[in-house]
Amino acid sequence: MIDDGVSAQDLLAANDMIAQGDYEGAVRLLERAVADDPTDCSALTALGIAFTEGGEHEKAVKALERALTLQESIPEAHEALGCAYYRLGYLEKAERALKRALELAPQDGGVLRNLGVVLDRLGDFEQGSSMIEEAYRLNQFDYQAMYALSSVRLRQGELEAAMELLERIATEDSPINLKMLAIDHIQNLKRYIR
């Protein structure tokens, strides 16, 4: 049997680990795959995503830049690179990476949401809000888009609209970290609404 590097099964397993929050396990699996084939763009991209989600943003940047050097047209790599740059505080680099991801995947709600958040942080509130609203329109069960939109509504002074979104996050099957943030915001908002 010829070993072509990372198998589709390995990538699925790594993606499952990432989804379950086992970033260390995904990194171990993907680092072995990249060691076997340093030119495997899928493994490099998944490794960068695992590093980003696990909080190792500098390592993520290295893996993702390597993947994009080998194949520039990977929207997921550009998006993950934008997220890593954002978390490192490099907002202009994050904006560039996310804009490229959007060029490659114009209807990707995650890209729209992340670019909207970056633009909002850069002070382009109108464009940022518009992108976050579009991301939510595309997928009303994207809890990260819902949380970002609740932040927009709070900034706009639309407390009731923000509360409605936060209550959905708190009561539906959302990720626990967002659920806890939403509950905290709800408790604070109740002081102002009632």
Q: Does 143 lie in the same domain as 128?
A: yes
pLDDT > 90: what percent of the chain?
A: 87
pLDDT digits (tens, 9 = 90+) for 37-73: 999 999 999 999 999 999 999 999 999 999 999 999 9
pLDDT number for residue 19: 87
- Which residue, among 129, 135, 78, 128, has the nearest Cα to 103 in the 3D structure? 78
Give 20 or 121, the one with higher predicted confidence. Answer: 121
74, 102, 130 — which closes off a domain? 102
pLDDT number for residue 55: 95
Q: Does 76 lie in the same domain as 1?
A: yes
Q: Does 98 lie in the same domain as 113?
A: no
Q: Does 130 lie in the same domain as 76?
A: no
Confidence band of 3 (pLDDT split at 50, 70, 90)? very low
Domain count for the chain = 2
pLDDT digits (tens, 9 = 90+) for 133-186: 999 999 999 999 999 999 999 999 999 999 999 999 999 999 898 999 999 999
Confidence band of 6 (pLDDT split at 50, 70, 90)? low
Asked if residue 102 has pLDDT above 80, the reply is yes
Q: Does 98 lie in the same domain as 116?
A: no
Rounded-to-integer distance, Cα 16 and Cα 118, Å: 27
Q: Does 84 lie in the same domain as 11?
A: yes
Structure tokens at 117: 């958040």
Q: Does 110 lie in the same domain as 50?
A: no
Asked if residue 1 has pLDDT above 80, the reply is no
Rounded-to-integer distance, Cα 158 and Cα 152, Å: 9
Question: Average pLDDT for residues 107-126, to the nearest whole number?
Answer: 97
Task: Check which CATH number belongs to the domain holding 3 and give it.
Answer: 1.25.40.10
Q: Does 143 lie in the same domain as 93?
A: no
CA distances from 65 to 5, 24, 103, 140, 183 (A): 20, 20, 18, 32, 37
Q: Does 98 lie in the same domain as 2?
A: yes
pLDDT number for residue 105: 97
Asked if residue 128 has pLDDT above 60, the reply is yes
Contact status, residue 153 vs residue 161, Cβ threshold 8 Å: yes
Structural domain including 139 reads 106-194
DSSP 109-154: HHHHHHHHHHHHHTT-HHHHHHHHHHHHHH-TT-HHHHHHHHHHHH
pLDDT digits (tens, 9 = 90+) for 13-28: 999 999 888 999 999 9
